[in-house]
Chain A
């Protein structure tokens, strides 16, 4: 899966905090969109209000759940990126047209999903690289069409399934049972069990 925003985010300082700013979020989201659609012939329209609504919903959740970050900060980065992906699916700010088969397969199969996922993966991997001694490579699931088809079906019922989906792509153990609850994540429970 192509993540063209990754080298650009790598040049930014403190992505972990900056992505919590609306202006940075919007600018980097739009930049990722432009890079992903470069030379594809696909045209896009971003609904600014929906994009901001997705961001505000993410901020709300961030404030409610941030204390869980104490248990395992690295895992919380993955959860927060997954949560951002869920809010993008929920608010759906992107409309694409002229989608054709000449582009890369994941973009052709599910253009909006591919763009949202590439942005959130780019952010998550940048933060892991900057603050947690390196980013893991994407797993094989990231190129498995069946995985993408499955998640596309699942997020129709519940956009929060984007959270374990993103975990799957970056090799974090997913929590399919309670995807929206960070305290139920396997990494957090393991840390809590060790501390007990």
Chain B
């Protein structure tokens, strides 16, 4: 795959978008780690370490515990402010670019897919799973040669959405999950939502939210089907076939 040409539609050089994305992903990682922190468990470990320490500590284990709890709370508060203001701003307008497919500018493409994926993850009960933005930007760059216009038939579009789902799954945008099928499920749901929007005459906020809602519901109902697709011989072709089968029945007429 080739990288996009210098004259791509994005008004900003990639590096100017990449730097804030890098910072945001680092903050997301920090927030994720803060959320994983278990004060009870970590206090116990700390107390054991303190007892075994050959060096005198300036604080008693009790004072140390209180300090840790205080700092954890401060950090958690900082984490939730970060989430609200910087790394997960809720901008419904950003989702509108989901209907533009790969034709969207880089920043709009990434933002729309980040927010849509975050929405799907919450809808499927994964509020605390880490999601990163930079891998999504890499997928945009990898698919620079994909030129789909209105003349391309629906099968070509479904194949593109399936290919994108596979790339996003393998991109590390969801770097860790207890369930190895989870990233594929999420990005398949995103592909289904995009397929529904492609077939729909409307691309407004209500249509985008409706498509995401149905995609999340279908994924919950057919989880085993999508898991089998991922484990199959050719996940991309099988996912494209599933989109072709389902989307015309689920799209807004």
Contact = CB atoms under 8 A, between A and B. Distances in A.
Interface string B186-219: 0000000000000000000000000000100110
Nearest to A55: B249
A56 interface: yes
B188 to A, nearest CB: 15
Contacts of A23: 252-253
Interface string A18-40: 10111110000000000000000
Nearest to A53: B221
A53 B217 CA distance: 9
Contact of B221 (A18, A20, A56, A63): A56
Interface residues of A, number: 14
A18 B217 contact: no
Interface string A50-69: 00110110010001000000
Nearest to A56: B221
Contact of B214 (A18, A20, A22, A63): A22
A62 to B, nearest CB: 9
Contacts of B9: none
A23 B222 CA distance: 19
A12 B228 CA distance: 39
B124 interface: no
B120 to A, nearest CB: 16
Contacts of A18: 253
B250 interface: yes
B250 A22 contact: yes
Contacts of B246: 56, 59
Contacts of A52: 214, 217-218, 221
B253 A56 contact: no
Contacts of B249: 20-22, 55, 59
Interface of B: 214, 217-218, 220-222, 245-246, 248-253
30 contacts: A18-B253, A20-B248, A20-B249, A21-B248, A21-B249, A21-B250, A21-B251, A21-B253, A22-B214, A22-B249, A22-B250, A23-B252, A23-B253, A24-B253, A48-B217, A49-B217, A49-B220, A49-B221, A52-B214, A52-B217, A52-B218, A55-B249, A56-B218, A56-B221, A56-B222, A56-B246, A59-B245, A59-B246, A59-B249, A63-B245
